[in-house]
Amino acid sequence: MATPTRTAARTTRATGPRHAPPPRLRTPRRQRHSLARPRRSVPLTLLTGLVVLYTLVPLLWLVISATKSQEGLADSFGLWFGGDFSLWDNVKETFTYNDGVFTRWLLNTLLYVVLGAGGATVLAVLGGYALAKFDFPGKRVVFAVVIGAVAVPGTALAVPTFLMFGEMGLTNTPWAVIIPSLISPFGLYLMWVFATEAIPAELLEAARVDGAGELRTFVQVCLPLLAPGMVTVLLFTMVQTWNNYFLPLIMIKDPDWYPLTLGLNSWNAQASTAGGEPVFHLVITGSLLTILPLIAAFLLLQKFWQSGLAAGSVKE
């Protein structure tokens, strides 16, 4: 708390005579290469570049390998193109192989993502808003239980959930994947923090004084203010549902309901089963097609999720 005063004192000394006009509290503009505006460093950039190499080289390998036929994969060096350029053939074969089952898996994944991640976002927004802006009996309990549940390993729940859903006749249906995806404790936490900051209490009071109902206040007044937080939660729940492997693995036995992740793995496993045809070029091309939509979403929505995350970290 003594900090600003000290800054002022030092600045006075730096600017010269005692009877000079009182200096501004900000740091003078002259200090260009201060901590706030440091000089750029080539060695540090190169060092960080090593980490970028580590994260990008495998993705580069994937892109390059997707242009090779199955023979080319074995013959040519991994990080450079082979003699043949069969990317389009590979893409075509990926979509047509086995009666176009890849398209089916893609549609399944979209179904799980739209209903699962979309639903999870809706529940998290409603719940986070309530935790942030209402005082209700049992609120502390709700909060404690949800935070405690985050520490419970998801896989510890898998077996009992599978057995329960089995008795309810839900296994081997899309619901078995969608319903557990609806809960995102991280999403609830993020929305709670975000709503606390984004919605001023005065605004709620004003809406209530004007006689707006709770639901109308929420939809027309609060929802627009919550948009950046919602995009962040949606994006992260989308990644979770799109990438989900364990849940569908135990819940879905019928390949017609597989999401992409399970489908790709079954194509990969095909090579090691007796009489199975190895289709590694399709596994690789399929993998590339699987990650493209998410990477595109993250790149295009950068502004939203980065500001949403920044808001979330204020509370920590």
User: What part of residues 256-285 is at the interface with other proteins (CB under 8 A)?
Assistant: 260-262, 264-265, 268-269, 271-272, 280, 283-284
Report the alpha-carbon distance of residue 117 to residue 114 in Å, rounded: 6
Indicate the residue among 98 and 243 with the shorter CB distance to other proteins: 243
Q: Using the rule CB under 8 A, is 206 a contact of other proteins?
A: no
Interface residue with other proteins among 110, 203, 225, 291 (CB under 8 A) is 291
Report the alpha-carbon distance of residue 202 to residue 199 in Å, rounded: 9
- Computed on alpha carbons and rounded to an integer, the radius of gyration of the chain in Å comes to 27
Type and span of the H or E element at 224: helix 223-225
Q: Using the rule CB under 8 A, is 2 a contact of other proteins?
A: yes
Q: Using the rule CB under 8 A, is 243 a contact of other proteins?
A: yes
Q: Is 156 helix (H, G, I), strand (E, B) or coil?
A: helix
Could you tell me the smallest distance in angstroms from the CB atom of residue 96 to other proteins? 21
The answer to whether 64 and 78 are in contact (CB under 8 A) is: yes
Q: Using the rule CB under 8 A, is 219 a contact of other proteins?
A: no
Q: Is 129 helix (H, G, I), strand (E, B) or coil?
A: helix
User: What part of residues 167-186 is at the interface with other proteins (CB under 8 A)?
Assistant: 179-180, 182-183
- By the 10 Å C-beta count (0-12 exposed, 13-18 middle, 19+ buried), 192 is classed as buried
Could you tell me the smallest distance in angstroms from the CB atom of residue 250 to other proteins? 7
Crossing angle of helices 280-300 and 260-270, in 10° steps, is 160
Indicate the residue among 21 and 58 with the shorter CB distance to other proteins: 58
171 φψ region: left (φ > 0), alpha (ψ -120 to 50), beta (else) = beta
Could you tell me the smallest distance in angstroms from the CB atom of residue 1 to other proteins? 6
Question: Cα dihedral angle (276, 280, 286, 289), rounded to 10 degrees?
Answer: 180
Indicate the residue among 73 and 91 with the shorter CB distance to other proteins: 73
Could you tell me the smallest distance in angstroms from the CB atom of residue 196 to other proteins? 8
Q: Using the rule CB under 8 A, is 85 a contact of other proteins?
A: no
User: What part of residues 119-158 is at the interface with other proteins (CB under 8 A)?
Assistant: 122-124, 126-127, 129-131, 133-139, 142, 145-146, 148-158
Angle of CA points 209, 211, 216, to nearest 5°: 115
Say how many residues make up the chain. Answer: 316
Indicate the residue among 103 and 168 with the shorter CB distance to other proteins: 168
Applying CB under 8 A, which part among 16-24, 28-36, 88-96, 99-107 lies near other proteins? 28-36
User: What part of residues 34-73 is at the interface with other proteins (CB under 8 A)?
Assistant: 34-42, 44-45, 47-49, 51-52, 54-56, 58-59, 61-62, 65, 73
DSSP structural state of residue 257: G
Residue that is written with structure tokens 């009992």 in the block = 160
Could you tell me the smallest distance in angstroms from the CB atom of residue 152 to other proteins? 5
